[in-house]
Amino acid sequence: GAVVSQHPSWVICKSGTSVKIECRSLDFQATTMFWYRQFPKQSLMLMATSNEGSKATYEQGVEKDKFLINHASLTLSTLTVTSAHPEDSSFYICSARGDRETYEQYFGPGTRLTVT
Amino acid sequence: GQNIDQPTEMTATEGAIVQINCTYQTSGFNGLFWYQQHAGEAPTFLSYNVLDGLEEKGRFSSFLSRSKGYSYLLLKELQMKDSASYLCAAMDSNYQLIWGAGTKLIIKP
């Protein structure tokens, strides 16, 4: 099956610093990648959709200058949380979609970010 | 607006059957997904329905009625490891997934 990896799996950073999260599709080419955020006991919240080689499309209320997304290749997308604050602490999950006929999104294992 | 409704929490007994319902309202419709999510982990794919009817896959089955905007996930022969949140997601006309809040399923011995 399709495998998506995320790195790091967890990270603790100080307020004001930036954190980069990588999302890789290991055995397929991901034309579209999605970034989600999930707070405890809540559902997934889509932050942005990125297509390889083009700018990401951000959901309403998500600051594009704070959450920088780069989808430089068909197997790699990165999310950088800039000037992180404690309220940015959350579970960040990426997913990738390759074969458009199935529309299935394959999820990475998630990254737990804690900002102190 | 777009909306997905599913129960917040359900409890069932090991070995029994449980049905988790989901109703949806979306701008256009390109299918309905069910995902399983264990605490602290990412969701894993369970099923995809785009046509009316029942899709059976082992102990899990998923049903869709497009005219009613309704789906359910049926879990048979429940095992303790089935304790998880089950997420319903409908794909709209832009192929975006609209997610429900998830149903936490608690399995008791």
First-to-last C-alpha distance (Å) of chain B: 40
B7 to chain A, any CB pair closer than 8 A? The answer is no
Give chain A positions within 8 Å (CB) of B45: 104-106
* pLDDT tens-digit series, residues A41-96: 788 899 999 988 788 999 999 999 999 999 888 899 999 999 999 999 999 999 99
Span A101-110, mean pLDDT?
82
Interchain pair A102, B45: CB under 8 A: no
Cβ separation A93–B42 shorter than 8 A: yes
How far apart are alpha carbons A38 and A61 in whole angstroms? 15
The strand ranges marked E within chain A are 4-7, 10-13, 19-25, 32-38, 45-51, 57-58, 67-73, 76-81, 90-97, 106-107, 111-115
Helix (H) or strand (E) holding A18: none
Q: Write phi, then psi, for B81 (nearest 5 degrees).
A: -70, -10
Smallest CA–CA distance, residue A112 to chain B, in Å, is 9
Percentage of residues in chain A having pLDDT higher than 90: 68
Candidates A103, A111, A113, partner chain B, best to mutate (most B CBs within 10 A): A103
Range A11-19 average pLDDT = 96
Task: Establish if B84 touches chain A: CB-CB under 8 angstroms.
Answer: no
pLDDT, position A29: 87
pLDDT band at A102 (very low <50, low <70, confident <90, very high): low
State yes or no: pLDDT of A103 exceeds 80: no
Average model confidence (pLDDT) across chain A:
91
Could you report the average pLDDT of every consecutive run of 10 residues in chain B (109 residues)? Answer: 92 98 95 93 92 95 97 98 96 88 95
**A102 neighbourhood in chain B, CB within 8 Å:** 48
Interface of A with B in 32-91 (CB under 8 A): 42-46, 49, 91
